[in-house]
């Protein structure tokens, strides 16, 4: 099995040696990763980052090139292994929508970064996802009494309506104002809509009321 790695080599010459040049070659697993030797310059940091595909270990050598007066240096290096994911990433539409929601309300939780639904053990707090053909967000729950959130303020974002597979939306006990977006009524899978404890104003969509009456939607 072949593995893919991303390697970063960091160089910084912080001591000036007048009249002396430091020229280097870099090889990884016996093959040069440079089209030509590199001259390291005083107070000019340099990072080199090759992508490497190999079957086993990664072995690198940094050697002085022809014409170098000084031995090579290496200030730091990083090696990252690409780990293939068994699941497809979150649907692009869902991903864009939840990012807009995050930015609209200024949600700054540290775990609201990266893919919202993957890996499965790092799903964004307050979200539930379904993973079949591709990850879809099916539940959003942002509650004011969770100390990791500030209260949501302003109107209910229309971006919630773009989560087309959404089954449950719980925004209870925040400081949301304005009307309930009519577009929420177009979410075919929505079964729970909890907006209790907010300052919602204006009429509620007749379609939402109808769904509540026929039992297909729990509306609070």
Cα gap 135→130, rounded to integer Å? 6
Tokens coding 20: 């002396």
Band the pLDDT of 217: cuts 50, 70, 90.
very high
Q: Are strands 3-11 and 22-28 parallel, antiparallel or unpaired?
A: unpaired
Smallest CA-to-CA distance from 53 within 72, 38, 75, 31 is with 31
Mean of pLDDT values over 19-29: 94
Q: Which residue has the higher pLDDT, 17 or 87?
A: 17
Cα gap 77→47, rounded to integer Å? 9
Q: What residues does 23 pair with on adjacent strands?
A: 39
Q: Where in the chain are the domains?
A: 3-81, 92-219
- The rounded percent of the chain whose pLDDT value lies above 90 is 65
H/E element, 140? strand 135-141
C-alpha to C-alpha distances, 74 to 13, 30, 70, 81, 110, nearest whole angstrom: 9, 18, 13, 21, 33
Q: Is the pLDDT confidence value at 103 over 90?
A: yes
Give the per-residue pLDDT at 186.
Answer: 93
Cα gap 63→4, rounded to integer Å? 24
Mean of pLDDT values over 19-24: 96
174 class by beta-carbon count within 10 Å (0-12 exposed, 13-18 middle, 19+ buried): buried
Contact criterion met (CB below 8 Å) for 112 and 142: no
3-state DSSP call for residue 105? helix
Q: What residues does 155 pair with on adjacent strands?
A: 177
Cβ neighbours of residue 83 under 8 Å, at least 6 residues apart?
A: none
Query: For the whole model, what pTM was predicted?
Result: 0.65
Give the per-residue pLDDT at 154.
Answer: 94
Tell me the CATH number of domain 92-219, given options 3.80.10.10, 3.30.450.40, 3.40.50.1000, 3.40.50.150: 3.80.10.10
């Amino acid at each position: 099995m072949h593995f893919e790695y991303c390697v970063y080599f960091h160089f910084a010459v912080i001591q000036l040696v007048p009249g002396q040049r430091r020229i280097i070659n870099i090889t990884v697993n016996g093959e040069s990763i440079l089209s030509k030797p590199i001259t390291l310059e005083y107070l000019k940091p340099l990072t080199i980052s090759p992508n490497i595909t190999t079957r086993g270990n990664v072995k690198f050598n940094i050697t002085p090139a022809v014409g170098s007066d000084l031995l090579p240096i290496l200030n730091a290096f990083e090696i990252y292994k690409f780990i293939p994911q068994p699941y497809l990433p979150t649907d692009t539409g869902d991903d864009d929508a939840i990012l807009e929601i995050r930015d609209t309300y200024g949600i700054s939780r540290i775990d609201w970064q990266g893919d919202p639904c993957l890996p499965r053990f790092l799903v964004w707090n307050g979200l539930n996802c379904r993973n079949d053909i591709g990850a879809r967000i099916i539940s959003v729950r942002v509650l004011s009494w969770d100390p990791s959130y500030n209260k949501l303020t302003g109107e209910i974002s229309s971006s919630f309506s773009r989560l087309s597979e959404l089954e449950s939306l719980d925004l209870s006990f925040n400081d949301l104002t304005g009307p309930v977006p009519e577009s929420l009524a177009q979410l075919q899978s929505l079964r729970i809509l909890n907006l209790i404890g907010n300052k919602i104003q204006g009429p509620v969509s007749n379609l939402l009321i109808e769904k509540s009456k026929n039992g297909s939607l729990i509306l609070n």
